[in-house]
Amino acid sequence: MDVDPRQFDQVVVNDDDLHSVVLSYLVHNCYKETVESFTSCTEMKRPADCLEDMEKRKRIFRFALEGNALKAIELTQELAQDLLEKNPDLHFDLLSLHFVELICSRKCTEALEFAQSKLAPFGKVQKYVAKLEDFMALLAYEEPEKSPMFHLLSLEYRQHVTDSLNHAILENANLPSYSAMERLIQQATVVRQCLSQEQGKDAFSSFSLKDFLKS
């Protein structure tokens, strides 16, 4: 059973709310120019410093995604000094990105030295040991892409770390760390799931954004 589309018409959605949702998405992902044009078109108020912060975040974001973790770390320290200290997991992940870079460029000696100086200290804490072992294992393979840990070299992993970094920076600046759009979609999906659990299976199909937008 699907919801009758006519019921949607009864819910009034405020324009301002819609604008906020879009804006938050744009800000979250650092689309600076788009933010500028969007805010001027809709005559919305822009928080001060917003553009500058976004620009900085964007650069950090980019470096991390490319794998230039050291630069990303440097800029993050400039932006918010104690951020990485407060988020050791993130710090470790960023350092590991650099390690992976070195491995991929086949610079084993450097990689080993980097690991010994920067990553090893994390090994004193139990929860990092398994992660550390995963990364160290990459050293054993002349072709790390063929090792069991090949996923650590992938773009998905870098994106995952970059997203975490983004969240951390936003949180630090007291901005929401998730964009409203993302949250709304998550909400709709979860509510659907709960409803179908209550009504018994097949009462509601799982929420699919694609299908929903087509309907």
Partner 1 sequence: MARPLPIEGDEEILGSKGVIRRVELVRIITKALYSLGYEKSGAHLEEESGIPLHSSVVNLLIQQVLGGQWDEGVATLKKIGLDENIVKSASFLILEQKFLEFLDQDKVMDALKTLRTEITPLSINNARVRELSSSILSPAKFVHVGSSSQSSTRAKSRSKLLEELQMLLPPTVLIPDRRLEHLVEQALILQRDACMFHNSEDKEMSLYKDHQCGRDQIPSRTLQVLQVHNDEVWFLQFSHNGKYLASSSTDRTAIIWEVDPHGELSLKHKLCGHQKPVSSVSWSPDDSQLLTCGVEENVRRWDVSSGKCLSVYEKAGNGFVSCGWFPDGKWMCFGANDKSICMWDLEGKELECWKGQRTLRISDLEVTSDGKQIISICRETAILLLNREAKVERLIEEDQTITSFSLSQDNRYLLVNLLNEEIHLWDIQGEVKLVAKYKGHKRSRFVIRSCFGGLEQAFIASGSEDSQVYIWHRGSGELIEALPGHSGAVNCVAWNPTNSHMLASASDDRTIRIWGLNDLKMKHKGPATHCNGVHYCNGRT
Give contact residues for partner 1 (rule: CB under 8 A): 108-109, 112, 115-116, 119-121, 123-126, 129, 132-134, 136-142, 148
Cβ(171)–Cβ(185) below 8 Å: no
Question: Residue with structure tokens 């988020």?
Answer: 87
Cα(150)–Cα(177) distance, integer angstroms: 29
Nearest to 119 by CA among 142, 145, 138: 138
Q: Residue 29's closest CA among 199, 179, 186, 183?
A: 179
Burial class (CB within 10 angstroms; exposed 0-12, middle 13-18, buried 19+) of 213? exposed
Nearest distance from C-beta of residue 133 to partner 1, angstroms: 5
Minimal distance, residue 140 CB to partner 1, in Å: 4
How far is the C-alpha of 132 from the C-alpha of 39, rounded, in Å?
45
Q: Find, among 94, 109, 113, 115, the residue nearest to 169 by Cα.
A: 94
Q: Which residues of 98-110 are buried (b: 16+ CB within 10 A; e: fewer)?
A: bbbbbbeeeeeee
* Helices 69-79/50-66 angle, 10° precision: 160
Least separation in angstroms between residue 159's CB and partner 1 is 25
Q: Two tokens at 116?
A: 């010994």
